Amino acid sequence: MHLRPATLLTAILAGLILLAPVTANAATTPTPSPTASTGTPEKNPVVKGPNITVTLKDVKGGKGEPVPVPGVKLTVHKDSKTGEELGTQTTDQAGRVSIGIPGNGTYVVELDPKTLPEGVKLSGNGETTKTVQVKIAAATFVQFQIGAVVVKEASFGSKLIDASTSGLKYGLIIALAALGLSLIFGTTGLTNFAHGELITFGGIMTYMFNRGLGLPVIAAGALAVLASALFGFAQDRGMWRPLRNRGTGLIAMMIVSIGFALLLRSVFQYTFGGSTKTLSQYVAQGRSDYGPIALSDKEVAIFAISIVTLVVTCIALMRTRLGKAMRAVSDNPALSASSGMRVDGVISSVWILGTALTGLSGVLLAINQQVNFQMGFKVLLLVFAAVTLGGLGTIWGALLGSLVIGLMVEVAPVITLWGWHPVPASIKDVGALVVMILILLVRPQGLLGRAQRIG
Amino acid sequence: MDFGTVIDAAFSAALGPQAIVFALAAIGLNVHFGYTGLLNFGQAGFMAIAAFGLAVSVVTWDLSFWLGLVIALGASVLLALVLGVPTLRLRADYLAIVTIATSEILRLIFGAVEFKDTFGGSNGLTGFASTYRDLNPYNSGLDIGVVSFSVNDLWSITVGWTLVGLGCLLVWALMRSPWGRVLKSIREDEDAVRSLGKNVFAYKMQALVLGGIFGGIAGIFHILKQGSAVPTDFNTTFTFYAYAALLIGGAARVLGPVVGSIVFWFLIAGLGSFFGQATSGTDPLIPDFIMTNTQSSLIRFILLGLGLMLLMIFRPQGIFGDRREIAIDAR
Amino acid sequence: MPVELSAARKALEGVPAEPGAPKPDPIVKGSNILRTFGGLKAVDVEHIEIQRGVITALIGPNGAGKTTLFNLLTGFDEPDEGDWSFNDHTLGKVPAYKVARLGMVRTFQLTKVLSKLKVIENMRLGATGQRGEKFWSAPFKSLWSSQEDEITARADALLERFKLDAKREDFAGSLSGGQRKLLEMARALMVDPELIMLDEPMAGVNPALKQSLLGHVKSLRDEGRTVLFVEHDMDMVRDISDWVIVMAQGQIVAEGTPQSVMADQRVIDAYLGAHHDTDITEVDLAELEIEAEAELDQEGTS
Ligand SMILES: Nc1ncnc2c1ncn2[C@@H]1O[C@H](COP(=O)(O)OP(=O)(O)OP(=O)(O)O)[C@@H](O)[C@H]1O
Ligand SMILES: [Mg+2]
């Protein structure tokens, strides 16, 4: 069944850096050879000893099996793009090159875009180089993506459906983090700039449990959510509660959170490294059609997990005693305290719940894309935008705002006005941020917020 | 370990052009946040719009350098007006989110491949600083042991510290006046000020414009001192660092941002040089399995984050401030 | 009884004791003022007039809409509908600062002192028409220093009158609750208002000081100012007010001289009622709690 005449193709430059010769082939076995083009080597030998092995595959926008891309010239430099050239190779029938390196250090892999097969050109930032940190400690698996778009245009309708689907998915992932932020803001008044790092924490923990301890991704994700909740609890007990008790002001606490964000982000970079890494499973999955929508299995799972979590959380907040207590505290902490509520206990629970939700959003982000030390920092602004847009501190507002933001991010680049793209694809966040600002102009209290009392 | 190099690096950075950029930007933030209580998290945006205002005028539009300066400052005023008109009537948090979003929007647009012809893409623009360089009266650099500056840097610090001095003078004169009193009162409680017949919106706008101009000057100075305008220089982290510098020196104090920037860069450069040396060579002071040379550059940022937290908790008035006068307090 | 008092009362002679009664010389005149919060009609006033040169008290149970009415009249809040005028200036969407400049100045129920400014700076801020508050003249001290001296002299006189002169150089944040009320009132007087609106000026002020405050309020009238104040302390209302307006559930339910209002059965029902002798703060809390619970339930079901 072909609903769309032409599809969006994406080429993935998958690089596996294998330091020990032992594991050289396990992960790089590609799919059957496609038609040969001239000047393409049949098979590049895998270098013994430390090497950088790159496999170039075209995943065809995630539809069907990935196909190796042969005949592309890749060069490895030491330290920087202008550094010493360690070797140049053309990808073989398996889409693979293997270039030897002297040992650990920083390397730059450069792709010659002129040698890309016809019909495929690099898009995005047009990034043709990738920097890789190689450490001797363990075999580092790195996969990096160079987006490439086929020159053939897909129809507007199909692009819109595609964009809306991924927008909704992105919105749901953001919603988990936004709900966490909103709960914490609602009960404590804290504008938490370290919230992005709580997302990253979820992602990195998943990676640690998965690659470090060798657990399957699902188990690793579950443990990561648990770890996030624990982290939230410890954070409240060890830092925020003492600060509240000292009577530290909200602005001062916000600045503390900025410091905490810098601290955490640098610690993540210190321990995790500066490169982007992938989990061991569900990396590049083919998509299957569900009516007009095409989704990979992991995307279906992301939809299911986030929707179920959000619904269950909201019902719990509405129905359970603790949920009501949380909302009461966020309405009026002083009154709740005077009517015998254990405000500190409620706030602890909010931190646990909030960071668990946020950690989960990091886990899903890691599965959807990759893991990086600033993955959360990069979405923090969108999470803030979602919460503000919906109305500060309201639960439904956070959800609605997230969906609007997620959709805007993905849909805006698709829109053309008289042949002109108002929001270029390379800066798609811009559309969502502009929409947020515009909505705030019309409804300063956010979509679902209430105006404040004066005097 | 060569402590001479560490000291040289620390002092040169503390008195050098980068500290001046921070001081100028933080003076602006001091007007915004320290005196008026406006949460501007988009100072990098004010810098970026002025920087690219100049660079685009000179490089893309081929206008004169001086006209470019006027356009650059005009652009930062315009940005203040555009941001202020809708948000200054709203709660403080909204200004924060709108300014942070706007500065990211600007950075993304300036760096977008689609607008490469105008803004130069991710590499930015170069070739607008010749007029500035030609004005340089010095013909050799300076090296007096504890500090060393190249001939270009020497010119930049001359211009830069003069600007900082003039800026501080202006802020001092304004903040001792009744005008400054209105700003400080707005920071405390704007409804009270309104009830006394002051046009709070107009004062906030004036403060936003004034601080924005300082941001603009910082941006212009930044690209002139390095000869290139690169979008990624103007990211949100810059704004956070400028806040850190302001808070180290003490908010709502005339010299707070200046002292803060000097201390900030002294520590950043000093620690960077120290740990860089401690982890380099064949037999490093700190063994490789604890800290590699790449990791060593991160230590200072870890300490910076920690320092900012501790500062806010234990000395919110800044290192040299007076506790009773702090702008930020328990509410 | 002093002569002035009877003069003020005389002006109100012949005004019928009924809600929305027209006055011979109104300084404020408003009709059909409506402000709703969700479904709640916080203010729903058909007609209101405030007589010039007298002390008018605005009373009513908690949540009656007194503060909200203050907010509306002074431009701090916008009504759903309705219009009013002050000295024949039509107000409605006029911003708060312009209302204050016209000579209608209010204080707040929850005091708003500028904590990180000294008491004297708080006072100086109140003065209007300051040259030094203009951006372009601010950097040049010679342009505004003489005016500043005049302002300071006026501020010192007022501080003395309100027994705050000892606190002159202290930060306002260090003042006690009652002192803050005093400072706020003194600061409002720096504006030199024609009509001063005080939202519970006596709450938290000690009895001795209360007496002298009462004196101040009366002397304001004697200086020719009009005073409108909200108060829960009935003794005080009886003591100094020339006219009383009673609000309940957003509406004006009664008006009249203190004596006639306090004898009014509707007022006793609506306000004094069963709570006549109970402690106001207790009622306050109970009511708040009921409100909060109601709100929660409402949200829970929506
Ligand atoms: N911003 C707001 N949002 C929602 N409801 C409000 C708001 N401001 C006031 N109200 C409601 O309007 C009603 C009137 O409030 P108002 O503060 O005017 O009462 P009041 O007469 O001043 O009472 P008190 O004597 O306790 O000061 C109350 O029920 C209050 O809950
Ligand atoms: Mg009230």
| Domain limits for position A323 | 156-442
Residue owning tokens 């328990």: B330
Which residues, at least 6 apart from A454, have a Cβ–Cβ distance to it below 8 Å?
Answer: B191, C71, C76, C77
Helix (H, G, I), strand (E, B) or coil at A213: coil
pLDDT score recorded for residue A449? 63
pLDDT score recorded for residue A229? 97
Instruction: Decide: C109 in ligand 1 pocket, CB within 6 A.
Output: yes
Q: Given CB atoms, is A322 within the 8 Å cutoff of chain C?
A: no
The answer on pLDDT for A9 being more than 50 is no
Task: Give residue-wise pLDDT tens across range A150-185.
Answer: 334 567 788 888 889 999 999 999 999 999 999 998
Q: Which CATH class is domain B3-132+155-323?
A: mainly alpha
Residues A399/A390, Cβ–Cβ less than 8 Å: yes
Single-letter residue type at B286: I
Residues 128-187 of B with CB under 8 A from A: none
A430, A434, A438: which to substitute to probe chain B, counting the most B Cβ within 10 Å? A430
Q: Which two tokens stand for residue B234?
A: 């103007």
pLDDT score recorded for residue C27? 92
* Domain boundaries of chain B, sorted by first residue: 3-132+155-323
pLDDT score recorded for residue A154? 64
Q: Residue A196: what are its φ and ψ, rounded to 5°?
A: -60, -35
Mean of pLDDT values over B295-320: 88
- In chain B, DSSP assigns E strands to 125-126, 142-143, 148-149, 228-229
Q: Give the N- to C-terminal CA distance of chain A in Å, as an integer.
A: 65
Task: Give residue-wise pLDDT tens across range B193-212.
Answer: 999 999 999 999 999 999 99
CA distance A127 to A121: 11
Q: Which two tokens stand for residue A298?
A: 């992991």
Relative orientation angle of helices A156-188 and A321-331, to the nearest 10 degrees: 80
Give, as residue ranges, everything with CB less than 5 Å from ion ligand 2: C 67, 109
pLDDT score recorded for residue A452? 58
Task: Give residue-wise pLDDT tens across range C104-136.
Answer: 999 998 889 898 899 999 999 999 999 999 999
CATH code for position A268: 1.10.3470
- Inter-chain residue contact B330 with A252, CB threshold 8 Å: yes
Instruction: Decide: C66 in ligand 1 pocket, CB within 6 A.
Output: yes
Residues A236/A226, Cβ–Cβ less than 8 Å: no
- Inter-chain residue contact C67 with A318, CB threshold 8 Å: no
Single-letter residue type at B284: P
DSSP code, position B284: -
Q: Quick count: other Cβ atoms within 10 Å of Cβ B143?
A: 12
Residue A1 resides in a domain? no
The answer on pLDDT for A343 being more than 90 is no
Q: Are residues A163 and A121 in the same domain?
A: no
Residue A369 resides in a domain? yes
Residue A11 resides in a domain? no
Residue owning tokens 């902490």: A333
Residues 55-94 of A with CB under 8 A from B: none
Q: Which two tokens stand for residue A293?
A: 């929508």
Q: What is the 3-state secondary structure (H, E, C) of A130-165?
A: EEEEECCCCCCCCCCCCCEEECCCCCHHHHHHHHHH
State the burial class of residue B182 (Cβ atoms within 10 Å of its Cβ: 0-12, 13-18, 19+).
Answer: buried
Instruction: Decide: C226 in ligand 1 pocket, CB within 6 A.
Output: no
The number of domains in chain A is 2
With CA atoms as reference, the chain A residue closest to C302 would be A318
Residues A132/A52, Cβ–Cβ less than 8 Å: yes
Which residues, at least 6 apart from A357, have a Cβ–Cβ distance to it below 8 Å?
Answer: A176, A177, A179, A180, A183, A309, A313
Residue A36 resides in a domain? no
Instruction: Decide: C85 in ligand 1 pocket, CB within 6 A.
Output: no
Choose among A324, A332, A455: nearest Cβ to C67.
A455
DSSP code, position B282: S
CA distance A297 to C129: 70
Task: Give residue-wise pLDDT tens across range C233-266.
Answer: 888 888 889 999 999 889 998 888 888 888 877 7
CA atoms within 13 A on the CB side of B120: 22
Task: Give residue-wise pLDDT tens across range A20-60.
Answer: 222 233 333 333 333 334 457 777 776 666 777 777 766 55
Relative orientation angle of helices B293-314 and B256-278, to the nearest 10 degrees: 150
Task: Give residue-wise pLDDT tens across range A86-108.
Answer: 888 888 887 778 787 777 777 78
Instruction: Decide: C249 in ligand 1 pocket, CB within 6 A.
Output: no
CA distance C262 to C237: 10
State the burial class of residue A86 (Cβ atoms within 10 Å of its Cβ: 0-12, 13-18, 19+).
Answer: middle
pLDDT score recorded for residue A454? 55
- Inter-chain residue contact C114 with B188, CB threshold 8 Å: yes
- b/e per residue, C3-31, with b = 16+ CB within 10 A? eebeebeebbeebebebbbebeebbbbbe
CA distance B19 to B15: 6
B88, B177, B205: which to substitute to probe chain C, counting the most C Cβ within 10 Å? B177
Task: Give residue-wise pLDDT tens across range C11-50.
Answer: 777 788 788 888 888 899 999 999 998 888 899 999 999 9
Residue A13 resides in a domain? no
Mean residue pLDDT of chain C comes to 84
Distance A220 CA to ligand 1 centre (A): 51
Q: Are residues A162 and A294 in the same domain?
A: yes
Angle at B317 between CA B312 and CA B318, to 5 degrees: 75
Q: What is the CA radius of gyration of chain B?
A: 20
Q: What is the 3-state secondary structure (H, E, C) of chain C?
A: CCHHHHHHHHHHCCCCCCCCCCCCCEEEEEEEEEEEECCEEEEEEEEEEEECCCEEEEECCCCCCHHHHHHHHCCCCCCCEEEEEECCEEECCCCHHHHHHHCEEECCCCCCCCCCCEHHHHHHHHCCCCHHHCCCCCCCHHHHHHHHHHHHHHHHHHHHHCCCHHHCCCEHHHCCHHHHHHHHHHHHHHCCCCEEEEECCCCCCCHHHHHHHHHHHHHHHHCCCEEEEECCCHHHHHHHCCEEEEEECCEEEEEECHHHHHHCHHHHHHHHCHHHHCCHHHHHHHHHHHHHHHHHHHHHHC
* ipTM field: 0.91
Q: Are residues A167 and A255 in the same domain?
A: yes
Q: Are residues A75 and A193 in the same domain?
A: no
| Bigger pLDDT: B22 vs A65 | B22
Task: Give residue-wise pLDDT tens across range A260-280.
Answer: 999 999 999 999 988 889 898
Helix (H) or strand (E) holding A86: strand A85-90
Task: Give residue-wise pLDDT tens across range B199-252.
Answer: 999 999 999 999 999 999 999 999 999 999 999 999 999 999 999 999 999 988
Closest CA–CA distance from residue A230 to any residue of chain C (Å): 29
* Among candidate residues B265, B266, B270, B11, the one with its CA nearest the CA of residue B142: B11
Distance C115 CA to ligand 2 centre (A): 22
A145-154, B248-257, C215-224, range with the lowest pLDDT? A145-154
CATH code for position A131: 2.60.40.10
| Strands A129-134 and C81-86, sheet pairing | unpaired
Distance C67 CA to ligand 1 centre (A): 7
A19-23, A173-177, A398-402, C92-96, range with the lowest pLDDT? A19-23
Q: Measured between beta carbons, which residues in chain B are less than 8 angstroms from residue C96?
A: 191, 194-195
Single-letter residue type at A61: G
Nearest ligand, CA C247: 1
Q: Are residues A295 and A174 in the same domain?
A: yes
Nearest ligand, CA C40: 1
Domains of chain C: 1-113+175-272 (3.40.50.300), 116-174 (no CATH)
Band of pLDDT at residue A450, cut at 50, 70 and 90: low
Distance C41 CA to ligand 1 centre (A): 10
pLDDT score recorded for residue A412? 86
